[in-house]
Amino acid sequence: MEPKRVIVTYCDENGNWPSVEKDLVSRLPLRNLVWKPSNNRAKRNISVLDVEFRRFSAESSKNLPPVTLLQNPYLNLYFVNCEDNEVYKTTVRQQIREWIQLMTSKKNQEWLIVHISSQENARATKVAQVRMADTEMSEMELWADFTEKMKEGIMTSFDQNVLTFEEDIRRLDSQRQMPGWNYCTFFILKEGLTNAYEMMNLHEDALRQYDELEASFFQILRDNALTWYGKFGGMQEGDDDANLLDLNRKPYRDLIIQNTISVFDFRTYLFGRQCNLLFRLRRPIEICHRSLIFIPSFAKTVREHVSNLTENFMESWIYTACMSIVNECDETVPLSGDDPHMMIVLDGAKAELLQLARQQLDKLGIQHGRLPKELPFTMSLGYDNDTNLGMSEVEKKPMSKDLLEAVSSDEAFDTSVSARAIRGFDGSGRHRSSLLLHGDVAALQYYRKKFVEAARILESITWRYGQNHWTVLENELVMKHAKCLKELGDTVKYTEACLTLLRNMDDLKDEDKLYYSTELFSTATSKELKQEIHHEFAPMFTVKVVSMVDILQDDDGSYVDIMIENKLPQDIEFNKLSVRMVSGEIDELWFNLRHGVIKPGKNTYRVTCETSASGTYVLEKVHLKIGKLVFLYDFLQENRKRIFRVDSHPKALKATISPPQEMELGQTSTFIVHVSSGRNQVSEASLSLLPASEGISLVPTSTLAYSKEASDAATGEISFESYEAISLPSFGPNETLAITVPYETFINSQEHLIKLAVHYLTPNSKRHTFTLTTGIETVLPLQVSHSIIWRDDCLNIKLDMACTSYVPIRVLNVELRHPARINDFKQAPFAGEMMQIKLILSLHTTVYVMASVVLYEYHFERPLAEATDEAANIVPVLAYTNVEVEKALTSLLEADLVKAQLEQHNAFLTSHLKSHLLKGVDYMVYGMSDELELPPLDVASCETLLVYHDPKVREILIGILKEIFLMNKTIEYDRIMALSSSNQPLQISFPIPLPTSQMLTTVEIIVDSPNELTVGTPATFQLLVKNSAYWSPSEDKEQVYDLYYDILVDYENWLLCGHKKRLFSTKPGVTTTHAVSLVPLKTGPLHVPKISIVSATSGVYNQTAYVNEAEQVLIKPRTTTSTFVIDQQRGVQFADR
Amino acid sequence: MNATHSSSSSGGGSGTGSGLAGNTPTCYFVMIGTKDNPIYEAEFVSVSTARSSSAGTAVSEAKREEFRHLNQFIAHSALDMIEDIQWGTNQMYLKSIDKFNERFISAYLTAGNIKMLLLHDAKSEDAIRNFFNDCYELYIKTLLNPFYDPNSIISSAGFDSKVRLSAKRYL
């Protein structure tokens, strides 16, 4: 419908129109009109108003009734151009008068005389003057007066019109209750007002009129006063797929005037008009919102009459209505959008309409067999999906063309509507609604067997439901997804989908549960699955460890019982069930069970571990392997860690690492690996060693020495390539292999860790492993250093020993090994006595004790013949023990454990004995008194120690310990030694290179009169230098050597008179005497000055033995006093009193 | 008829009423936690419809299952609407926020961002408001229970029966 325009007529009897038309039209449309309603309502601004000029004619100026579509002009213009008064008086005035008379007779029409002249004249009211060809004034000003008057006229006329309409409407409205009142008349009248508003571009007001009309329509509907509607309508062709906004489709207005309009047409018309106005107002959002209310609510009305209508009328109508509105919105609203917020809202509203349209498609699709009658398509049917929908209906009339097309072929039944709706929802941020539509599209693709597409869409959306625990919805989609994947043969994803479904099995039907679990496991075990799939145990299974770890009696290794609860409704065969326990960062144990069946409900399995490794292990995880499917459970995620004590059978194969019995300092360090077979016949075994801490490495070598401790003691060498796999010789039961392994350390640390593993085959050809991570102490508890003291005819060696650990060390023996070439050596006369003590009590912390370390001296007598043998070494050997108490208690404990048949705990208790249970032992007292007092047993710490053991075993063990501690409150030294007899003392040996010197001089200083030394009085000293014949570098006794002595005088105490340094010659065996005077400067005992003798001959080195070393002489005070000032530079000044 | 059946099922859905009778649509009530996860759901037959359709044929299991899906789908997509609306009002009761076919979805958004949705036929707003207020109070009481973790599924039978009682009174 063309928008109506305000009509202005002109009467032009002088032929002025053509001359002004151009100028006039160019002034249009009129701008900035102001309507001040006379009924005191707020004034309104009309920014633009278009005006249509019509030539005045008598017919057209007839007063028309308001109901017609034809309009009355608002303003009548009379153009006059009369310069001549005569002419005016004779003809023109008459004409004007007649015209005015005609105008005034009309209702609600204004008139205006336009005088076109070239000069200014006096004005009269209702005369506008347009002066042509006036150069003085601008065009604008020329016309301003006229346009103002024209606006005024139009507005006055409009106002009057509105008033008239309103009055009429009020009158008619008040008669509503009267019989014979017709809504149509009311409607037409009201619409007249609306048209008036619309004409003036007052769309808001117009819309309000329609809204009022709609309201009154519903009012009347409620009052059941709509009897005048004869029929519902919608029977005409094209009713079902008409553009809702196309108001020209039917002569609605005429129908209304004729009072023959149907409800359907009426509602359509009313809504269409509203929408038209809203479009003019540029409010697409409101249109969408209104249609979202109108379409479903009117659809309800339609449904009441659906039996009279063509097939699928309703669906068709809703679809077309929605689509036409959305299309219209898309066309009208520029895509660039003004306001992003508005676009979001609009997108949302459009999407909702599209969704509504889509639902109609679904309905049609189901009816026509294009879609299956199942979710999610049936969703569109809503709740009242009566079963009588279907193909059995009589073909009434074909429905709309494109819909018919849509349902008639699969290809045309397109998802473009959905796609548009999804875009809309996405644009408006309504991602959930968009998900729903995605699901629908996927379902459609699935139904059309486009599985790839469907799977792709489903994969992207299912998790979003699952994420928020909308499991029912997730399941629905995943089931579809699973079907797609099955069709596609994507086994990996299919398995995952099954897993997802089973994860949500609480919301699955029983038959589905069974179906999918069967599917899952058959897929998992089939060969098609190429890839391992991991999944949590929960919620299909729960797993619990129900026992403590215990040792296997008949085989090496241990076992644990675990319980698996199967919540799936079927038996499941598994390939492997493994439990992993870890200790620290490096040790792990795998408990395995191969092949089994998990029945629904609770099942208990015993899993065994072929690795024997004792230690405290944390339960880490469980693997359940079914085909390619692996179920995992991580115990560490539980709040409480499960910790188990794992022991190995006392008769199982065992390996230990210990320091060698004999250590030789300066050589490559070694440790010894003892592998004892226990009860096993070891036919094949390999050892692997791995440094487990930084700073230690095993010395690469190609062979290792080993010895067999058994009935047939044997030694040999093992060749190997790497420490990872050292194949061991076979050995029988109760045999022990001792393998010496060299290592080196490069970071100083008390202890280095070595990981050790023995893989071995037992006669029943079971493969077993023994693993152990143990520390080797690389620092000795004993520190030894030596120094050499030269004597005229022998050497003294001084050994300083210090204990570096807190536990004292008992030194059992010290002996000296020496090259056979040294003919004779003798120990100091007191050495034997020192040996008797046999115990060094030395604590690292007590510096004083360390300083007073006992020293051993050995005297050598060396024949001259051996003088040139410089490679000779003296090797002192120390035998010591520091673990005798521990060993003694261990053997006591072991005996008791064997009695109680709990030998497997021996290793554990022993290892903790020292650190925890023997903490309170005072070894110093023991060392002094040779009697060990055991402190009372700390039961609490025992319990913490044994906290991971089986409670029953724990009680017994504590009992045993208690008894031992009670029975052995004091232990004698002899008993300890007897108990620890198996404990071989450790030996340390280290080489001391035998020193040789070319020359030795003995220096002696003799005071002439030692009793008469007084301070300040010079005293004569004799310096005796004897050249030792024994150490002479050459055989020649007559060889003369040049030497010089140097007296290192302490100038605070002494003044030297004579030669400080002096060169002299000597021969072997000859003593030379030098006299020096020394002046003592202080009273009291003073050290005699040091003297060094240095060889003056190059190539000859001299050692000095100073007889008077550290000797003191007593200096007496003088009887008379004297003061003297000592100045190093100027000598000494005496000042006798 | 309108059995106050309390469901102990865990997992996604809880407390789907078994009191479905007749082919009339039931009211569907769902509470949604802050992470968009359903924490409680229930279906009730409103008293009036139940009475009128007491002789109605029982809905088949499949239909019910389907309704459940339908309800959840509707509720889930209605969350979008709540998000659109929630910042525009300071009321907790958001009134009818959406329509699905001829059914309404009313929502109530608590201060703690717990959403309550009711899928219903046209009903008076006040009754629904009262029902929501009741449910909110019940929820607060549940929240006071130290053994209840916020956002977890409410499986309390007491809560369920009280909600149903309130539904009977108002809906």
**pLDDT given at position A381:** 57
Structure tokens at A379: 């969703």
Which value, to the nearest 10 degrees, does the dihedral of the CA atoms of residues A490, A491, A493, A497 take?
120
- The stretch A1005-1016 carries a mean pLDDT of 80
Distance between A407 CA and the closest CA of chain B, angstroms: 22
Tell me which chain B residues have a C-beta less than 8 angstroms from the C-beta of A470.
12, 37-38, 72, 76
pLDDT, greater one: B30 or B101: B30
- Subunit contact B77:A435, Cβ cutoff 8 A: yes
Strand duo A696-698 + A736-745: pairing:
antiparallel
Would you say residue B167 has pLDDT above 80? yes
Q: Residue A977 is encoded by which pair of tokens?
A: 């030694």
Interchain pair A470, B37: CB under 8 A: yes
Q: What is the rounded CA–CA span in Å between residue A820 and residue A866?
A: 11
Contact across the interface for A296 and B84, Cβ inside 8 Å: no
Average pLDDT for chain A: 73
Q: What pLDDT is stored for residue B9 in this prediction?
A: 36
Contact A375 B72 (CB under 8 A): no
- Give the model's confidence band at A870: pLDDT under 50 very low, under 70 low, under 90 confident, else very high: very low
Give the residue from B66, B104, B155 with the most A CB atoms within 10 Å of its CB, the best one to mutate: B66
Chain B residues with CB-CB distance to A436 below 8 A = 73, 76-77
Chain B residues with beta carbon closer than 8 angstroms to that of A465: 76
- pLDDT tier, A982 (very low <50, low <70, confident <90, very high otherwise): low
Please give the DSSP secondary-structure letter assigned to residue A868.
T
Note the ipTM here. Answer: 0.74
Q: Do A468 and B103 touch (CB under 8 A)?
A: no
| CA A735 – CA A726 distance, rounded (Å) | 18
A428 vs B contacts (CB less than 8 Å): 84
Inter-chain residue contact B84 with A435, CB threshold 8 Å: no
Percent of chain A with pLDDT over 70: 72
Using a CB-CB cut-off of 8 Å, the residues of chain A touching B40 are: none
Categorize the per-residue pLDDT at A853 as very low, low, confident or very high, splitting at 50, 70 and 90: very low
Q: Per residue in A1039-1053, pLDDT tens? A: 788 888 888 888 888
Residue A195: the pLDDT is: 77
Tell me which of A604-618, A677-691, A712-726, A954-968 is least confident: A712-726
Q: B142 versus A863: which is more confidently predicted?
A: B142
C-alpha span between A1009 and A1016 (Å, rounded): 15
User: Position of tokens 């017919």?
Assistant: A59
Query: What pLDDT score does A575 carry?
Result: 87
Domains of chain B, start order:
27-170 (3.30.450.70)
Whether pLDDT at A994 is above 70: no
Q: Provide mean pLDDT across the span A262-291.
A: 78
Q: Contact B69/A375, CB-based, under 8 Å?
A: yes
Q: Among A87-96, A258-267, B55-64, which is the least confidently predicted range?
A: B55-64
pLDDT of residue A820: 52
- Name residues whose C-beta falls within 8 Å of residue A1073's C-beta, 6 or more positions apart in sequence: A1022, A1023, A1024, A1025
Put simply, whether A376 touches B (Cβ < 8 Å) is yes
Question: What tokens were used for B135?
Answer: 């449910």
Task: Give whichever of A817-826, B34-43, B134-143 has the largest mean pLDDT.
Answer: B134-143
Interchain CB contact of B73 with A (< 8 Å): yes
Residue A1131 has pLDDT above 70, yes or no: no
**B149 Cβ under 8 Å from any chain A Cβ:** no
Measure the CA–CA gap between A378 and A570, rounded to whole angstroms. Answer: 33
**Residue A626: predicted pLDDT:** 85
- Chosen from A354, A469, A508, A509 to mutate, greatest number of chain B CBs within 10 A: A469
Instruction: Please give the average per-residue pLDDT across A406-418, as a whole number.
Output: 57
Which residues on chain A are in Cβ contact (under 8 Å) with B65? 509
Q: How far is Cα A317 from Cα A33, in angstroms, rounded to an integer?
A: 42
CA neighbor of A875 nearest in space, from A799, A783, A780: A799
- A278 Cβ partners below 8 Å, 6+ apart? A207, A284, A286, A287, A290
Of all residues in chain A, the percent with pLDDT exceeding 90 is 0
Q: Tell whether the model's pLDDT for residue A1128 goes beyond 50.
A: yes
Q: In chain B, count of helices (H) and strands (E)? A: 4, 5
State which amino acid sits at residue A198.
Answer: E
Q: Do B67 and A378 touch (CB under 8 A)?
A: no
Q: CA of A300: which chain B residue's CA is closest?
A: B102
Q: Cα A204 to chain center, whole Å?
A: 58
Rounded mean pLDDT, A323-338: 70
Assign A25 to helix, strand or coil. Answer: helix
Strand partners, A605: A562
Whether residue A500 lies within 8 A of chain B, CB to CB, comes out as no
- Contact criterion met (CB < 8 Å) for A472 and B35: no
Structure tokens that stand for A670 in this block: 């070694």
Residues of A within 8 A of B35 (CB-CB) are 468
Alpha-carbon gap: A374 to the closest alpha carbon of chain B (Å): 9
How close, in Å, is residue B78 to chain A by CA atoms? 8
- Whole-number Å distance between alpha carbons of A993 and A316: 114
Q: Search chain A and give the residue with CA nearest B61.
A: A509
The answer for residues whose C-beta is within 8 angstroms of residue A211's C-beta and 6 or more apart is: A274
* Count of beta carbons in the 10 Å neighbourhood of residue A1099: 7
DSSP A480-513: HHHHHHHHHT-HHHHHHHHHHHHHTGGGS-HHHH
The CA distance from B110 to the nearest CA of chain A, in Å, is: 19
CA A298 to chain centre: 54
pLDDT band at A864, cuts 50/70/90? Answer: very low
**Start-end of H helices in A773-903:** 831-837, 847-851, 884-900
Interface test with A, best of B80, B99, B120 (most A CBs within 10 A): B80
Q: What pLDDT is stored for residue B136 in this prediction?
A: 92
Backbone angles phi, psi at A1046, to 5 degrees: -140, 120
Mean of the pLDDT values across residues B85-113?
83
Hey, how many other C-beta atoms are within 10 angstroms of the C-beta on A828? 14
> Is the sign of the CA dihedral A1105, A1110, A1111, A1117 positive or negative?
positive
Q: A111 and A9 in contact (C-beta within 8 Å)?
A: no
Q: Which of residues 331-350 of A touch B (CB under 8 A)?
A: 345, 348
Q: Give the 3-state DSSP-derived string for A518-586, with helices as H, strands as E and coil as C.
A: HHHHHHHHCCCCCCCEEEECCCCEEEEECCCCEECCCCCCEEEEEEEEECCCCCEEEEEEEEEEEECCC
Q: Are the Cβ atoms of A382 and B68 closer than 8 angstroms?
A: no
Query: What's the gap in Å between the CA of A69 and the closest CA on chain B?
Result: 38
Residue A742 scores a pLDDT above 50: yes
- A116, exposed or middle or buried, with CB in 10 Å at 0-12, 13-18, 19+? buried
Task: For residue range A547-599, list pLDDT tens digits in order.
Answer: 887 777 777 778 888 888 888 888 888 888 888 888 776 678 888 888 888 88
Kindly tell me the sign of the dihedral angle through the C-alpha atoms of A1021, A1022, A1028, A1032: positive
Highest mean pLDDT among A344-348, A502-506, A696-700: A696-700
Instruction: Answer whether A470 sits within 8 Å of B70, measured CB to CB.
Output: no
A1017: number of CA atoms within 13 Å, CB side?
Answer: 17
Q: How far apart are CA A986 and CA A988, in angstroms?
A: 7
Contact B69 A379 (CB under 8 A): yes
Q: Residues A907, A647: contact at Cβ < 8 Å?
A: yes
| pLDDT for position A126 | 55
Write b or e for each residue in A215-230: b if 16 or more Cβ atoms lie within 10 A of its Cβ, otherwise e: ebbeebeeeeeeeebe
Enumerate the residues of chain B whose CB falls inside 8 A of the CB of residue A378. 66, 70
Enumerate helices (H) and strands (E) in chain A, giving the number of each. 26, 51
Give contacts of B100 with chain A, Cβ < 8 Å: 382
- A387 pLDDT band, cuts 50/70/90, is very low
Mutate to test the interface with B, among A359, A363, A375, A383 (most CBs of B within 10 A): A383
Rg for chain A, CA atoms, rounded: 60
Q: In chain A, what residues touch B99 (CB-CB under 8 Å)?
A: 292, 296
Q: How many whole angstroms separate alpha carbon A987 and alpha carbon A778?
A: 15
- Crossing angle of the two packed helices A884-900 and A951-967, in degrees rounded to 10: 130
CB contact under 8 A, A472 and B68: yes
Q: Residue A1070: how many CA atoms within 13 Å on its side-chain side?
A: 14
pLDDT value of residue B144: 92
Detail the DSSP E strand segments found in A362-405: none
Amino acid, single-letter form, for residue B167: A
Per-residue pLDDT at A229: 58
pLDDT class of A710 with cuts at 50, 70, 90: low
Name the pairing type of β-strands A6-12 and A51-55.
Answer: parallel
Element containing residue A93 per DSSP (H, E): helix A93-104
Question: B78, A433 in Cβ contact below 8 A?
Answer: no
pLDDT score of A852 more than 50: no
Q: Which residues of A698-710 are buried (b: 16+ CB within 10 A; e: fewer)?
A: beeeeebebebeb
Residues in chain A within 8 Å Cβ distance of B66: 375, 378
The winner for highest mean pLDDT among A303-312, A357-366, A602-611, A723-732 is A602-611
Query: Span B106-133, mean pLDDT?
Result: 87
**Range A58-67 average pLDDT:** 51
Q: How confident is the model at residue A391 (pLDDT cuts 50, 70, 90)?
A: very low
pLDDT of A928 above 80: no
Q: Is B155 on the interface with A (CB under 8 A)?
A: no
Distances (CA, A) of A684 to A571, A655, A1116, B145, B170: 40, 15, 87, 65, 83
What distance in Å separates the CA atoms of residue A1018 and residue A1132, rounded to the nearest whole number? 13
Is the pLDDT assigned to residue A806 strictly greater than 80? no
Read off the pLDDT of each residue in A676-705 and give the average, rounded to a whole number. Answer: 81
Question: Residue A181 — φ and ψ, nearest 5°?
Answer: -70, 135
Q: List all residues 6 or more positions away from A783 whose beta carbon is below 8 Å from its beta carbon.
A: A801, A802, A803, A804
pLDDT tens per residue across span A172-198 = 777 777 766 777 777 777 777 777 777
Contact list, B80 vs chain A (CB under 8 Å): 348, 425, 429-433
- For residue A1090, list its beta bridge partners: A1048
Distance from CA of A33 to the nearest CA of B (A): 36
pLDDT band of B16, cuts 50, 70, 90:
very low
* One-letter identity of residue A181: W
Write b or e for each residue in A579-597: b if 16 or more Cβ atoms lie within 10 A of its Cβ, otherwise e. Answer: bbbbbeeebebebebeebe
> Which among B12, B84, B153 is the nearest to A507, CB-wise?
B12
Q: What pLDDT does residue B138 have?
A: 92
* Of A6, A48, A27, A42, nearest in space to A158 by CA: A6
| Band of pLDDT at residue A879, cut at 50, 70 and 90 | low
Structure token digits, residue A2: 């063309």
pLDDT per residue as tens digits for the range A156-168: 777 777 777 788 8
pLDDT in tens, A121-148: 444 445 665 555 444 555 566 667 777 7
Total CB pairs under 8 A between chain A and B = 94
* Residue A844 confidence (pLDDT): 36
What's the pLDDT score for residue A534?
83
Mean pLDDT of A684-699: 82
Query: Which comes out higher in pLDDT, residue A825 or B137?
Result: B137
